Amino acid sequence: MLISEFARAADLPVDTIRFYITKGLLKPERSTKGGSNPYQVFRKEDVTAARMIRLQQTLGYSLGEILELNEEYRAGEHSPERTVEVLQSQIARLEERKAALDQALSFLRGKVDWIKAGKPEGAPRLEDYQC
Amino acid sequence: MLISEFARAADLPVDTIRFYITKGLLKPERSTKGGSNPYQVFRKEDVTAARMIRLQQTLGYSLGEILELNEEYRAGEHSPERTVEVLQSQIARLEERKAALDQALSFLRGKVDWIKAGKPEGAPRLEDYQC
DNA sequence: TATAAGTATGGAGTACAGTCCATGGTCAAG
DNA sequence: CTTGACCATGGACTGTACTCCATACTTATA
C-alpha cells in the first residue's frame, strides 16, 4: 500500500503521515520502485498504529509521549511480561481520565437537577469534584 | 481577590490568566484602585470558571470552542430551560467521549487478556473498536 | 512517447496555547 | 516619602502539530 492509499485507509492527510514518519511514529518499508527516492510502503499494522496515535492524542498525549510509549511497547515486544506492564500503565492513565470525566458528568448532572429543583441554596461547585 | 491571589486559587500562572482574559474566557471586574490601569478583581465564581476551562481542555476542547460553549451558557443564563439544554448538550458530548474511552479500555484489556492467554489466533484489532 | 498522476524531500508558513520580558504605573509598610 | 511588592499593557518569543509549497523524479495510461 502506497502513501495515498494509506492516507485513505487511516483517514489522515498525506502531509500528516509524512510528518509522523519524520517524527518516527510510523516506519513504513521502502519499495524498490521510486528510483533514488524509493516509495514508502505501508502494512495494515500501520493503519492500526495510525489509529492508535489518534486515539492517544484524544487522551491528551503529545506526539513525543506517544513516541516514547510506542517505543517502550516495541522494546518489550518479545517479553509478554513487559508488554503487559506497558499496557497496564496505559490502562491506568486511561482510567484516571475516565474518573475525571465521570466527576465532570456528575457535576453537570447535579447542576441540571439543581436547576430543575428551582435553584435552591447551594449551587453545585466544580471545586467539590476532583477532576 | 486580585490576580496573584486568584492565580494561587486557580493554580494557574498569572500570565495564563491574563491570556485567558484577552481571549474573553475570564471577565474580572475592575477595581477603583490602580489609577489609569485599574486592577482586575476576581470573584470565587471565576475560580470555578477557570477550573471548568482546564477540565474542558482535558476533554479535548480548544479555547475557541470553550469560549463558544461558555458564551452559549451565559446567553441562556436567565432561562432555566435554555440552561438545561446547554448543559444537556455538554453532557451528551461528554458521554460520547466516555464511550470512546471505554472502547479504548476494552481494547487494551482485551489485548492484555490475549497476551496472558499465550497470544492465540486473532489478536485484538483497534479497528474493531469504535473509538 | 507525451502526459497526467503519484511520490520524496526540504523548507517556509500557520494556528494554537501559552510564556517571557520591558516599561511604567500603583499601593502598602515602615 | 521612599522602597519593595504588586499590577497592567504590549510585544516578542517558544513549542507543538500540522499544512502548504516548490522542485524534481517515477510510474502508469492513452
Residue A80 belongs to a domain: no
Q: What is the number of domains present in chain A?
A: 2
Specify whether A53 is located in the same domain as A4.
yes
Specify whether A37 is located in the same domain as A2.
yes
Strand C footprint nucleotides (protein C-beta < 7 Å): 6-9, 16-21, 24-28
Cα–Cα dist B86/B24, whole Å = 19
* pLDDT value for A124: 84
Q: Which domain holds residue B87?
A: 3-128
Tell me which chain B residues have a C-beta less than 8 angstroms from the C-beta of A62: none
pLDDT tens, residue by residue, A4-52: 999 999 999 999 999 999 999 999 999 999 899 999 999 999 999 999 9
Residue A71 belongs to a domain: no
Kindly report the backbone phi and psi dihedral angles of residue A55, in degrees, each rounded to the nearest multiple of 5, phi listed first.
-60, -50
Residue A56 belongs to a domain: yes
Rounded alpha-carbon distances, angstroms, from residue B31 to A112, B15, B16, B43, B67: 33, 19, 20, 12, 24
Residue A106 belongs to a domain: yes
Specify whether A2 is located in the same domain as A52.
yes
Cα–Cα dist B6/B50, whole Å = 10
Specify whether A93 is located in the same domain as A53.
no
Specify whether A56 is located in the same domain as A97.
no
Specify whether A4 is located in the same domain as A57.
yes
Specify whether A55 is located in the same domain as A96.
no
Specify whether A2 is located in the same domain as A53.
yes
Cα–Cα dist B112/A51, whole Å = 19
Residue A83 belongs to a domain: no
Q: Give the CATH number of the domain where residue A46 resides.
A: 1.10.1660.10
pLDDT tens, residue by residue, B82-112: 889 888 888 888 888 888 888 889 999 999 9
Q: Say yes or no: A8 contacts chain B, CB-CB below 8 A.
A: no
ipTM: 0.86
In the listed set A61, A77, A109, which residue is the last one of a domain according to the structure? A61
With a CB-CB cutoff of 8 Å, which residues 36-95 of chain B face chain A? 47-48, 51-52, 55, 58-60, 80, 83-84, 87-88, 90-91, 94-95
Residue A9 belongs to a domain: yes
Cα–Cα dist B10/B28, whole Å = 14
Specify whether A3 is located in the same domain as A43.
yes
* pLDDT value for A43: 96
